């Protein structure tokens, strides 16, 4: 199994979060405040410099306002095609 930080799946997950955040009209700073982090934390996640774990993913999805499980399932299914 490849390291997750530079994997295709991780890049797709990060792209999903960026797309969802921007579609909701939330800035990196607003998201950071909502999850109790600094803006630089969100910037490192979105630039691929920091690995995103499943708990962080769920917290961020809730803060942005999307169904974490549904989107992850769609992402995984899309990657296997």
Mean pLDDT of 4-14: 86
- Indicate the pLDDT class of residue 3, thresholds 50, 70 and 90: low
DSSP designation for 64: H
CATH number of the domain at 8-13+26-80, out of 1.10.150.530, 1.25.60.10, 1.10.569.10, 1.10.260.40?
Answer: 1.10.260.40
Task: Retrieve residue 75's tokens.
Answer: 């992402």
**pLDDT at position 6, please?**
76
pLDDT in tens, 17-62: 999 999 999 999 999 999 999 999 999 999 999 999 999 999 999 9
pTM assigned to the model: 0.88
CA distance to 1, 3, 6, 11, per residue, from 21 (Å): 29, 25, 21, 15
* Helical packing angle, 54-64 and 28-35, nearest 10°: 110
- Indicate the pLDDT class of residue 81, thresholds 50, 70 and 90: low
Closest CA to 29 of 40, 44, 16, 14: 40
């Amino acid at each position: 199994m490849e390291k997750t930080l530079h994997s295709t799946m991780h890049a797709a997950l990060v792209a999903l979060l960026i797309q969802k955040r921007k579609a909701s009209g939330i800035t990196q700073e607003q998201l950071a405040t909502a999850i109790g982090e600094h803006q630089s934390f969100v910037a490192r996640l979105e630039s691929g410099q920091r690995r995103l774990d499943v708990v962080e993913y769920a917290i961020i999805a809730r803060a942005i306002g999307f169904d974490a499980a549904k989107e992850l399932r769609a992402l995984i299914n899309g990657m296997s095609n």
